[in-house]
Chain A
Amino acid sequence: MRAEAIRHAALAAVCACTLVAGGCTSVPRATNELEAARDVYRSAAANPQVQARAPVELELAERDLRDAENLHSADAAPARVAHFAYLAAQRARIAMKTAELRAAEASYAMANEQRDRLQLELDSRASAASSSGGQTSQPAPVAPAQPTLNAPPAQPAYSAPAPR
């Protein structure tokens, strides 16, 4: 009877130790990946240019980050959490790059408008000078050829995710 009691006590002690050790050592969770994804998403979401120029891409990143957070809270397999965290981080990067792209497109369009306006002014000054001087003046030096985007305009830099 006494030996039985000792055995039970020893078993209880072993169980308690296992539980304590289990609590102390961290269960592998995809915390690093999730933290990295949160950081990338935060910098994308905090950028007003991204909010204004790439809201759809930002929303896709937010959706994946939410999925990663939910899986993490539900103690899902670390690989699944890491996967959604990766998708969220990449989509946040896509959102930032897309915002830069749209800003560059706007800058390109503005530069072309300005170039046309300046070229017109240069031509009109040249013709005014030639009519007042009564001589055939050389046409205004030709401005550098208008740079063209040698490929079709950029398409949205995301493809629709496959249904889950």
Chain B
Amino acid sequence: MPYMACKGCTDRSDLQRSFRLALGLGALALGLGACSSMPRPDPQIDAARAAVSKAQPVVLQDGSMELRVAQYKLARAEQDAERGDYTNARIYAEQAQVDADYARAIAENARVERAAADANLGVRRLQDQLDRRAK
């Protein structure tokens, strides 16, 4: 059908000019669209950096695998942002943030569970001493 629509265009140079114009406008629209719809994801990268920094001192053993994944994704986000691939940079940054948060939750939970187990052991020992004295 596009052929039928252009049947009236008898001048070949007119056709070429129209084609070039359309191509140029298309490229411009794509360029503008890319610029306006996807800004550089600096807030997401900053949030991911903060989450990774917060997790690093807490994660020693438990959650270390998740933290490594978060660090890898943060590095990818930074690289992609440098290359101008903001879509992927944002995806990697957002995932790095949740991965770091998850790593920290795992590590904190393991630490507090160990402390609670120790505290409960102390309680049982005291209870035993009291029981022995009562006899």
Interface-forming stretch among A12-20, A25-33, A86-94?
A86-94
> Which chain A residues lie closer than 8 Å to B82 at the CB level?
none
36-94 of chain A: CB within 8 A of chain B: 79, 83, 86-87, 90-91, 93-94
B94 adjacent to A162 (CB under 8 Å) = yes
**B43, B91, B115: the one within 8 Å of A147 (CB):** B115
Which of B50, B102, B133 is within 8 Å of A97, CB to CB? B102
Interchain CB contact under 8 A, B47 and A162: yes
Residues in A neighbouring B126, C-beta threshold 8 A: 115, 118-119, 122, 143
B43 & A162 in contact (Cβ 8 Å cutoff): yes
In the complex, chain A residues whose CB is within 8 Å of the CB of B99: 90
A121 and B130 contact, Cβ closer than 8 Å, known pairs A91-B98, A111-B123: yes
Which secondary structure characterizes the binding site on chain A? helix
CB–CB B120/A111 < 8 A: yes
A147 to chain B, nearest CB (A): 4
- Say yes or no: is B97 at the interface (Cβ < 8 Å to chain A): yes
Which of B14-22, B25-33, B104-112 is the contact stretch? Answer: B104-112
**A146 on the B face (CB < 8 A):** yes
Tell me which residues across on chain A come within 8 A of B118, comparing CB atoms.
147
Specify which chain A residues have a CB less than 8 angstroms from the CB of B109 in the assembled complex. Answer: 97-98, 100-101, 104, 154
Query: Beta-carbon contacts of B35-61 to A below 8 Å, as 1s and 0s?
Result: 000000101101100110010001000
Chain A's nearest CB lies how many Å from the CB of B56?
13
Residue pair B44, A157 in contact (C-beta under 8 Å): no
Task: Say yes or no: A108-B112 contact (C-beta < 8 A), given A143-B122, A143-B129.
Answer: yes
Task: Take A87-B94, A94-B105, A125-B130 as given contacts and tell me if A151 and B116 are in contact as well, using a CB distance cutoff of 8 Å.
Answer: no
- Closest partner residue, chain A, to B113 (CB atom): A104
Q: Does A131 contact B (CB under 8 A)?
A: no
Bound-state CA distance A161–B58 (Å) is 20
Interface residue? A149 (CB, 8 A): yes
Partner among A79, A83, A98, A144 whose Cβ is within 8 Å of the Cβ of B105: A98
Q: A112-B119, A118-B130, A155-B54 are in contact. List 7 more A-B contacts (CB 8 A).
A: A87-B95, A105-B116, A141-B129, A144-B121, A159-B50, A159-B97, A159-B100
Which residue numbers of B lie inside 8 Å of A, CB to CB?
41, 43-44, 46-47, 50-51, 54, 58, 91, 93-95, 97-102, 104-106, 108-109, 111-113, 115-116, 118-123, 125-127, 129-130, 133
Identify the 4 closest CB pairs spanning chains A and B, nearest first.
A111-B119, A157-B105, A147-B118, A97-B105
Supply 23 A–B pairs (Cβ within 8 Å), ascending by A. A79-B91, A83-B91, A87-B94, A90-B95, A111-B119, A118-B123, A118-B130, A122-B129, A125-B133, A143-B122, A143-B125, A146-B119, A149-B111, A149-B112, A154-B111, A157-B102, A157-B108, A158-B101, A159-B101, A161-B47, A161-B94, A162-B41, A163-B43
